[in-house]
Amino acid sequence: MAACVSRVELSVSCRSLLDRDLGSKSDPLCVLLQDVGGGRWAELDRTERIKNCPDPEFCKKLVVDYYFEKVQKLKFGVYDIDNKSFDLNDDDYLGGIECTLGQVVSSSVFTRPLELKQGKPAGKGTITISAEEIKDTRVVYLEIEARNLDKKDFLGKSDPFLEFYKQSDAGTWQLVYRTEVIKNNLNPCWRKFTVPLQTFCGGDFNKRIKVQCADHDSDGSHDLIGTFETNLTQLQKAGGGTPVEFECIHPEKKQKKKSYKNSGIIRIKSCKIETEYSFLDYVMGGCQINFTVGVDFTGSNGDPKSPDSLHYISPDGINEYLIAIWSVGSVVQDYDTDKLFPAFGFGAQIPPSWQVSHEFALNFNPSNPYCQGIQGIVDAYRQILPQIRLYGPTNFSPIINHVARFAAHSAQQGTASQYFILLIITDGEITDLDQTRQAIVNASKLPMSIIIVGVGEADFKAMEFLDGDNGVLKSLTGEPAARDIVQFVPFRQFKNAPREALSQMVLAEVPKQLVSYYKWQGWPPVKPQETKKM
């Protein structure tokens, strides 16, 4: 694995895009793809969509890891988006370019004509990309409102939004942030927002910042309300109940009317600068990731001796449970120094009393349920299978609550030192859904994440519900989860894929979940890195 030299943020704008919409202009979005070999391209990032705009300047920056020693082939594609689906295959293609990241970073501004395909220009359309290395991990938090803005709409009031521009070394203005539009309001209060310090002003507190306030029109012809210039040093004076105020000036009105005062007042309610830590900052700062496995031994899996059982170990020594343990465990174990992993089963009758247990140690040692490494979990699983009777019901909440007790104990230390990942492998027939919902909502306030891998061909509707991707998971009493901590993946999607595909999909959310927890608590890494080496 090549070491990532640094991260680069790309600003994209286009000119003279083709019109693909009848009666209005295109609604462009730019997607960034990277060549992953074998003629395949993988999406890295995409911008926002801008409505009715042939000359878009995209606000969302595209972030890419830059490796000096690799040729990184990139493809920028511009699409006209007319629906809500994430898939771009049903959208009109407005043109694209292929280049390398090296070409972009080595030229201060990189402009190319857009092509519909090799050698076929997309009208007069062009794309311009500029790159900036992300060296600073601080972010600017801003809270802004306005008073008495000019009325721009004939029938209603104005629909104001703000745009922030920084001045480049060449003297041009580059868009760094665009707020949401507030409909029909001359005294708007915009949502609190954050911009990376590097993006906002290149880390230079005295760099000129231009703020424009405009009235949004759906046809893309936004009317300027007014503008002012400032810098971060001035903005930082806001806070603690004392806002910083700026007059919003429309240059043409000022010239025409002697009595003109302003087109409204923009008030900066607060401006704070904080350090944004990454997953690597926490891990390199000493955060241990504790990995626990829970295995479903309920009767719906089928008799382990029968070849159609999910617990049947094939002649080559594997089944879906073992593959899931290996692929997820092999990635996570690198982040745990002692390599001792607690492993539990649930839903089986266990000797000698043959009582049903919903959290029994795979090594039959309740006072020390730890297995040595991932191989230790695999060995314990193989040894226990012939000694238990698969039964039921399928209760998840006992094992979630078990790990949550350890996470709660760790959280009392008030430091970013321990994070817990629970991997539950199940055939999906959950019995205690209400108790599990409550257990997840409680766990969402703790340093833990839950990964559920569904094996077999069952209907996993309940698992998808727990994942919370379609809205916030709530407990039975209506209490929402503090953060999204569940990732569900059906194993059948990965049957014929390389083994690392499952672990990448399953673990993709964990870094975000870990960072979101510590950010929510306001805890920095235990040992912050003095010099940030990527």
pLDDT for 454 equals 93
When comparing pLDDT for 511 and 58, which is higher?
Answer: 58
Structure tokens, 460: 């996993």
Residues 388, 517 within the same domain: yes
At residue 410, does pLDDT exceed 90? yes
Mean pLDDT computed over 500-514: 81
At residue 69, does pLDDT exceed 80? no
Residue 177 banded pLDDT, cuts 50, 70, 90 = very high
pLDDT for 363 equals 96
pLDDT for 176 equals 96
pLDDT for 531 equals 39
CATH number, domain of 37, equals 2.60.40.150
pLDDT for 170 equals 82
Q: Distance (Å, rounded) from C-alpha 430 to C-alpha 427? A: 9
Residue 528 banded pLDDT, cuts 50, 70, 90 = low
Question: Rg of the chain's alpha carbons, rounded to an integer?
Answer: 28
Taking only the tens place, the pLDDT of each residue in 231-256 is 999 999 998 889 999 999 999 999 99
Mention every residue, 6+ apart, whose C-beta is less than 8 A from residue 164: 175, 176, 177, 178, 195, 200, 209, 210, 211
pLDDT for 534 equals 32
Torsion, Cα of 339, 345, 346, 351 (10° steps): -140
At residue 289, does pLDDT exceed 60? yes
Number of separate domains in the chain: 3
Phi, psi (deg, nearest 5) at residue 11: -100, 135
Mean pLDDT computed over 402-430: 95
Residue 68 banded pLDDT, cuts 50, 70, 90 = low
Residues 299, 193 within the same domain: no
Per the domain annotation, does 39 fall within a domain?
yes
Residues 384, 483 within the same domain: yes
Do 315 and 352 form a contact (C-beta atoms < 8 A)?
A: no
3-state secondary structure 457-518: CCCCHHHHHHHCCCCCCECCCCCECCCCCEEEEEHHHHCCCCHHHHHHHHHCCHHHHHHHHH
Neighbours of 288 (CB within 10 A): 15
pLDDT for 169 equals 80
The conformational region for residue 261 under phi > 0 = left, psi -120 to 50 = alpha, else beta, is alpha
Residue 470 banded pLDDT, cuts 50, 70, 90 = low
Q: Distance (Å, rounded) from C-alpha 359 to C-alpha 292? A: 12
Give the three-class secondary structure for 276.
coil
- Compute the mean pLDDT over every residue in the chain, rounded to the nearest whole number: 90
Please give the helix or strand (H or E) that residue 143 lies within, else none. strand 138-147
At residue 17, does pLDDT exceed 90? yes
Residues 118, 231 within the same domain: no
pLDDT for 5 equals 52
Mean pLDDT computed over 34-54: 90
Cα distance from N-terminal residue to C-terminal residue, the chain: 13
Residue 334 banded pLDDT, cuts 50, 70, 90 = confident
At residue 340, does pLDDT exceed 90? yes
Looking from the CA of 408 toward its CB, the CA atoms found within 13 Å total 10
Residues 82, 223 within the same domain: no
Q: Which of 275, 282, 278 is nearest to 419 (CA)?
A: 282
Per the domain annotation, does 248 fall within a domain?
yes
When comparing pLDDT for 209 and 22, which is higher?
Answer: 209
Neighbours of 113 (CB within 10 A): 14
**Highest mean pLDDT pick, 132-141, 278-287, 441-450:** 441-450
When comparing pLDDT for 195 and 24, which is higher?
Answer: 195
Structure tokens, 457: 């061909």
Q: Distance (Å, rounded) from C-alpha 494 to C-alpha 496? A: 6
pLDDT for 134 equals 82
Mean pLDDT computed over 400-417: 97
pLDDT for 132 equals 86
Q: Which of 132, 108, 252 is nearest to 199 (CA)?
A: 132
Residues 342, 466 within the same domain: yes
Q: Which residue has the tokens 């104001």?
A: 160
Q: Which of 215, 246, 275 is the last residue of a domain?
A: 275
Q: Which of 131, 144, 199, 132 is nearest to 166 (CA)?
A: 199
At residue 346, does pLDDT exceed 50? yes
pLDDT for 354 equals 96
Structure tokens, 5: 């030299």
Residues 413, 344 within the same domain: yes
Residues 271, 286 within the same domain: no
pLDDT for 284 equals 75
pLDDT for 2 equals 38
Per the domain annotation, does 529 fall within a domain?
no
CATH number, domain of 334, equals 3.40.50.410
At residue 309, does pLDDT exceed 80? yes
The dihedral through the CA atoms of 78, 79, 80, 83 has a sign that is negative
Residues 119, 165 within the same domain: no
Residues 263, 284 within the same domain: no
Q: Which of 113, 134, 155 is the last residue of a domain?
A: 134
Per the domain annotation, does 477 fall within a domain?
yes
Per the domain annotation, does 343 fall within a domain?
yes
Name the packing angle between helices 397-411 and 433-443 (round to 10°): 10
| Percentage with pLDDT > 70 across the chain | 96
Q: Distance (Å, rounded) from C-alpha 514 to C-alpha 509? A: 9
Residues 248, 360 within the same domain: no
Q: Distance (Å, rounded) from C-alpha 377 to C-alpha 397? A: 21
Give the three-class secondary structure for 443.
helix
Pair type for strands 92-100 and 486-490 = unpaired
Residues 459, 365 within the same domain: yes
Per the domain annotation, does 527 fall within a domain?
no
Mean pLDDT computed over 411-428: 95
Residue ranges making up the domain that contains 488? 280-521
Q: Which of 134, 152, 174 is the last residue of a domain?
A: 134
Mean pLDDT computed over 499-519: 83
pLDDT for 1 equals 32
